Amino acid sequence: MAIPIDVRERAGALREALLRHDHAYYVLDAPTIPDAEYDRLFRELQQLEESHPELRSADSPTQRVGGAPAPDLVAVRHAVPMLSIRTETDVTADGARAFDARVRNALALTPEDPPVSYLAELKFDGLAISLRYEHGILVRAATRGDGETGEDVTHNVRTIREVPLRLQGNAPELIEIRGELYMRRDAFEKLNARQRAAGEKVFVNPRNAAAGTVRQLDPRVAARRPLSFFAYGTGQSTGFEMPDTQAGLLDALAGLGVPVCEHRTVSPGPEGLVAFHARIAALRDQLPYDIDGVVYKVNRIALQRELGFVSREPRWSVAHKYPAQEEITRLVDIDVQVGRTGALTPVARLQPVFVGGVTVTNATLHNQDEIDRKDVRIGDWVIVRRAGDVIPEVVGPVLERREGTLERFDLLARFPNCPVCGSHVVRAEDEAVARCSGGLFCPAQRKQALLHFSGRRAMDIEGLGEKVVDQLVDGAIVRTPADLYRLGLVALASLERMGKKSARNLLAAIEKSRDTTLARFIFALGIRNVGETTARDLARHFGGLDALMAADIDALQNVPDVGPVVARSTAEFFAEPHNREVIEQLRAAGVHWPEGEPVMATGILSGKTFVLTGALPTLTRDAAKARIEKLGGKVSGSVSKKTGYVVAGSEAGSKLAKAQELGVPIIDEAQLLALLQAADGTAEHLRSQASK
């Protein structure tokens, strides 16, 4: 069946528009349309392609993921070999001068000759990749391999949003764009957190994560691990007019729509290179990605050709490295730190080591599972990593250097009690972290507990922010939430940056919070796993606090939507005598609520569970949730067969996929609003009926 001309044109226009928006969003970092509008265009194209599969083209933005897993990576021969860069061993400013001297010497220049112009750029710490574009379309992506032969990783590179599937503007017949694939530090942290939570292998650094990702056989796995790309050169090309300079080449590549790093400079002679090296050194920690140095290149391409290369290294380029971000040192001991939520984090005490530009003596070991997985033992030589502002971390032991038999570390055996408050330490079977059970009693957790207690959705004490809480706790003025209700004007007004007026306002806010609801009070207690919704369920079910406090795990599990995890943490919380004490003090201080509210679930949406995913165009998540709950609906975090609706916004991920898989109805914000309006109308109608 022939495709109608208007359909073909519409698909073409949509593809153009989406590619343009992708470029604006992923390369220029300057989105041109709201996400919701992008999604709408994307879906329209998807639908057109579904009804007319012949419309699907390799450069369609709908085709980024979805390829079948590769059975194996296929070898690719590079027509133009991928070179490496010589490392300047002298890491002082003299390194740049030595490079300039070598270049001038090789070019037989005399001191009277004018300075050689250089381009300075970053040395990205990822892996080199060659992207082959034919008539502007990405047809192949290959790793560097040994420089002569790499591996075909097209299926994964296609999933990288920063890599255009089609070049912009006047694309040459053939061009191989070379550059670096890397993983941003935030993406790396997120990936590792996810791996850790899933009990899977964590990556030692962003470079390894990037390399592991790009060599994945299954593109669906790669698609979930965002990679980034910077172009810095070209390989084979036909019909591409090579600019005169390296700097011009970078501009030309940016003009084709590929990302080029903004940090680059052209310098006549070596002095500008020295300055660049220093400037980037100061910037290094703030960059969102790892670099291991800067690279200098002779700017004129003609001079580069004249200089040629020795073995695999061009004479016209050199890498000037920075101090390493990974070093080896001795693990002297393991301590624990109690976090604001009671989590005990094992901390490595290290023999001081200079890494990432500072002397490091402590590094995180995350949790017991990580210690086991890495098999780190006290007395080991370990690799320590410090990149950017990230907390230094122990990557792993250097097993070849282990002397004798070292004992495995067992956190619970070493710290059966919280080192801060003495409450016992517990670790749930299905959890990686050990926690202090002291809750409100543990000083390390007090600040967080107080902030949570006074939060808008809890006791709603306006004016009790972090600065005030810090002073109250550090000055031992407030230990538990109950102490808040004993605060006087004098004590408050004496705090830093707190005049009489704000002190009076705060006191009034505290006073006002005495009159609350049971649901708010339960939520305010900060019981683990008990969020706002669960607190409301518990309040509704038990009607009063005493009934809740007396409930055992079975009784708790009778509450709709309360499972074993919530039941256990709730029971554990009320079993802790310190917590009961604080609750009694709060009641004695006059905190009260209407008890014995009936168990009611009469909302028009009652029994309907909604799952929100992605960013909605106008509603915040809290607002959407509040409106659903007001009409008796529930909002849940995970999709199951029982889910009523999935409300999908832009960048909806796995939940959307799950809903599609289970056949759960998927609606957008507009449909949700329509539904709420209809439900509200019905509710109104029922109310007026009842009052007649």
Give the residues lining the site for ligand IVH (CB under 6 A): 83-85, 121-124, 127-128, 144, 180, 232-233, 295, 314, 317
Distances (CA, A) of 161 to 122, 259, 308: 22, 11, 35
Cβ-based nearer residue to ligand IVH, 309 or 593: 309
If you write DSSP's letter for every residue of 512-553 in order, what string do you get? HHTB--HHHHHHHTT-TT--HHHHHHHHHHHSSHHHHHH--H
Beta carbon of residue 445, minimum distance to ligand IVH (angstroms, whole number): 45
Beta carbon of residue 331, minimum distance to ligand IVH (angstroms, whole number): 32
Beta carbon of residue 142, minimum distance to ligand IVH (angstroms, whole number): 13
Candidates 101, 114, 118, 90; CA nearest to 272 is 118
What positions carry a catalytic annotation? Answer: 123
Q: Which stretches does DSSP call E strand in 381-455?
A: 381-385, 393-397, 425-426, 434-436
Question: What span, in angstroms and rounded, lies between the C-alpha atoms of 673 and 619?
Answer: 10
Beta carbon of residue 264, minimum distance to ligand IVH (angstroms, whole number): 9
Beta carbon of residue 242, minimum distance to ligand IVH (angstroms, whole number): 15
Cβ-based nearer residue to ligand IVH, 83 or 378: 83
* Cα angle, residue 128 at apex, residues 125 and 129 outer, rounded to 5°: 140
Beta carbon of residue 119, minimum distance to ligand IVH (angstroms, whole number): 9
Give residue 194's Cα distance to chain centre.
10
Beta carbon of residue 289, minimum distance to ligand IVH (angstroms, whole number): 11
Question: What span, in angstroms and rounded, lies between the C-alpha atoms of 681 and 235?
Answer: 65
Look at strands 381-385 and 425-426 and give their pairing: unpaired
Give the single-character DSSP code of 203: P
If you write DSSP's letter for every residue of 543-595 in order, what string do you get? SSHHHHHH--HHHHHTSTT--HHHHHHHHHHHHSHHHHHHHHHHHHTT-B---
348-355's contacts with Cβ under 8 Å and 24+ in sequence apart are 348/376, 348/382, 348/384, 348/394, 350/382, 350/384, 353/327, 353/328, 353/329, 353/384, 354/323, 354/327, 355/323, 355/324, 355/325, 355/326, 355/327, 355/384, 355/385, 355/386, 355/392
Residues 6+ apart with CB under 8 A from 7: 48, 52, 55
Contact 264, 121 (CB under 8 A): yes
Contact 424, 223 (CB under 8 A): no
Question: What span, in angstroms and rounded, lies between the C-alpha atoms of 71 and 79?
Answer: 25
Question: What span, in angstroms and rounded, lies between the C-alpha atoms of 659 and 169?
Answer: 39
Question: What span, in angstroms and rounded, lies between the C-alpha atoms of 629 and 683?
Answer: 13
Cβ-based nearer residue to ligand IVH, 214 or 353: 214
Structure tokens at 187: 């993406």
Beta carbon of residue 349, minimum distance to ligand IVH (angstroms, whole number): 35
Sign, CA torsion 585/589/592/595: positive
Beta carbon of residue 358, minimum distance to ligand IVH (angstroms, whole number): 24
Contact 59, 166 (CB under 8 A): yes
Beta carbon of residue 33, minimum distance to ligand IVH (angstroms, whole number): 32
Q: Which residues are registered as beta bridge partners of 615?
A: 650
Cβ-based nearer residue to ligand IVH, 388 or 455: 388
Q: Which residues are registered as beta bridge partners of 141?
A: 131
Cβ-based nearer residue to ligand IVH, 151 or 668: 151
Residue 618 φ/ψ, nearest 5 degrees: -120, -35
Structure tokens at 290: 């790892």
- Name the residue number minimizing CB distance to ligand IVH: 128
